Chain A
Amino acid sequence: MAQSRAASLRGRLADYFPTIAIAVGVILAWEFLVLAFDIQQFLLPKPSAIFGEFTHQVNLWLTPGERSILFESSGATFWEAFGGFIIGCGSGVLVALITSRWTIVSEATMPFAIAANSVPIIAFAPIMNNWFGITNPASKMAIVAIIVFFPTMINTVRGLTLVDASQLELMRSYATAPREILLKLRIPNALPYMFSAFRVASALSLIGAVVAEFFGGPRATLGVYITQEASAFDFAKAWTAIMMASIIGISFYLVVLFAERRLMPWHVSLRGE
C-alpha cells in the first residue's frame, strides 16, 4: 500500500515534470534576459530581486514587533475577495433557485442577467466607494459580489432547468412532488454548472478586489500597495504584491477545484485514469 502510494506520487511528479520545467525555464530566461540586456528595474525587475523582496517581507512578517505591509495587504484583499465571493455566489444561487421555481420568471429575468453579465461592473468601483466609504472593505466586497453574482446566477438557472426530459418523466411516473424533484434531480443536475461558475468566480473575485482598490482604499490592501510602490518606482515591491495576488488567486481556484472533486466524485470531468 505504502509502496504503491509512493509509486503513484512519483508517477504524479513525472506527470507534472514538464510544467515545472517550463516554469523554472521561464524564470531563468527572465533573469538572464534582464541581465543580458541590462533592463532597468522600473521596466522589469529580476526574479531574484522580487524573490529577495519577498523573503525580506516574510522575515518582517515573522519577526515580533515588525510589520509587513505586504502580508497585511494580502490578508485584507483576500478577505474582500472572499467576502464578495460568498455574498455574490450565495445570492446568485439563491436568486436562481427562486426564479427557476417559476419558468416564466426565470425566462423573463435571464436576458437581463446575461446583459448585466456583459457590463464592466468594475466601472462602478468609485460609486461603491461613495456608497460604503473608500476605506470600508464593504465597498470592495460589493464590487466583487456584483461581478460574481451574474455568472453564478446564469449558470445555476441553466443547471436547474436543462434537465433531461426522460429524467423528468421518470419523476412524473413516481408522482413526485415538485420539492422532491428540486432536491433529488434539479439541484444535483445543477452542481456541475454551479461549480464551473464558482471556478470562474474565484478568479474574478480577486481581480475585482485588486482593481477596485486601484480606485482607492486603505493603505494595507494589494491594489493600493501596487499603485503606491509603482508610483514610488519601487518595482520589486510592486511585483512582489502582484506575485502575492497571483498566489492567492491560484490557491482560491484550487480550493474551489478541490471542493468540486469532493462534492461531485461522479462527474465526467473527474473520472480519472
Chain B
Amino acid sequence: MAEQSRDIAISAQGLNKVFNPGTDEEVIALQDINLEVEAGEFISLIGPSGCGKSTLMRLVGDLLQPSSGELQVRGKAPRQARLDRDYGMVFQAATLYEWRSVIRNVQLPLEVMGYASDERRRRAQAMLDMVELGAFAQHYPWQLSGGMQQRVSIARALAFDPAVLLMDEPFGALDEFTRERMNLELLKIWEQTGKTIIFVTHSISEAVFLSNRIVVMSPRPGRITEIVDNTLPYPRDFNTRSAPAYIQLVARVRDLLRDAIGADAAQDGEGV
C-alpha cells in the first residue's frame, strides 16, 4: 500500500468563489483555496460563520460553480463526478421525505438511479442495519428523534456506495450527548466503508475527534489559514477525548481560529 502512488480524491488549486460579482453585494466567499484530499481521508472544514466552509463543500459537490481556479474530483470535473453519482450528501437538517417510510427514504437514491427493486430493498435494509435502525424500517420520519433521522439520512447517503461523502454540519442541530454518540458511529462507518469524507463543522472537539486532517478557515474573504495534521490513532473512542494529545490539539485549533477571527477583527478595525 505504502509504495502505491497517492490516490487523490479531491484537488483544488487557486480556487476562488465570488458571489454577485460586479455589484454592490459582491462577496468574496473563497480566495485562493489550495487543498488536496487523498482517497479515504476524513477531512474537517472548520471556521467561523462566513468563512466559506459550506461554500467550499458545495463547490466540490457541484451545487455551486467556482468563479476561477482548478477543481477536480477523482480526476474529473465536479459536474462529471456528480453525474457519475460519486457524492453522498448529508445536510444539517435530515431532509427526509415525510411521505416515505424510513426504508423508502433510504431507497430514494436507488430508485432514481434505477436499481432493481429487490436490490434496493436489500441495500436499504443493510444500510439501516449499519446505522442500527433496522427495526425502524417501516416507521415514518416524524416518529423518529432528531439523531435517528440524521442516521437515516447517513444511511441514504451511503446506500448507493458513493466514493465521496459530503457532510454539512450534520450533527449541528443535535444535543451534545447525541452528537458525541453520532461521532462514534460515524467513525465506525468510515472505518467500515473507507469513504472519503468532507465534514463541515462549527465544533472544534468534533473536528479533532473525527478527522485525520483539519482545515482551519477564516472569513472575509474565506481562505485556508492552516491545515492541521491529526495523528491521534484510530480507532478512537470515548477515552480519546481525555487523552492529552487530543486536548492539546483542541487547544491548538482553538488558537488558530482565534487568530483567524482576530486578524479579521483587526482588519475591520483599521477601516479603509
Contacts and interface: CB of A to CB of B under 8 A. Distances in A.
A169 interface: yes
A171 B63 contact: no
A257 interface: no
Contacts of A219: none
Given A170-B95, A266-B98, A271-B142, A184 B83 contact: no
Given A188-B97, A191-B99, A166 B61 contact: no
B76 to A, nearest CB: 13
A266 B112 contact: no
B85 A175 contact: yes
Contact of B87 (A167, A173, A267): A173
Contacts of B246: none
A170 B61 CA distance: 10
Interface in B155-191: 160
Contacts of B99: 188, 191, 264, 266-267
Contacts of B142: 266, 268, 271
Interface string A161-180: 00010110111111110001
Contacts of B83: 175
Interface in B78-99: 82-83, 85, 87-89, 91, 93, 95, 97-99
Interface residues of A, number: 22
Contact of A173 (B61, B97, B140): B61
A184 B63 CA distance: 20
Contact of B112 (A176, A188, A191, A271): A176
B59 to A, nearest CB: 13
A184 B89 CA distance: 18
B109 interface: yes
Contact of A166 (B87, B95, B98, B113): B95
Interface in A122-169: 164, 166-167, 169
B95 A173 contact: no
Contacts of A268: 98, 142
Contacts of B108: 174, 184
Given A167-B95, A264-B99, A173 B112 contact: no
B268 to A, nearest CB: 30
Contacts of B98: 266-268
Interface of A: 164, 166-167, 169-176, 180, 184-185, 188, 191, 264-268, 271
Interface of B: 61-63, 82-83, 85, 87-89, 91, 93, 95, 97-100, 108-109, 111-113, 140, 142, 160
Q: Which 8 A-B pairs have the closest CB atoms?
A: A188-B99, A173-B89, A174-B112, A166-B95, A266-B99, A166-B91, A175-B83, A176-B112
Given A173-B63, A180-B112, 4 more contacts: A164-B95, A167-B95, A175-B82, A265-B140
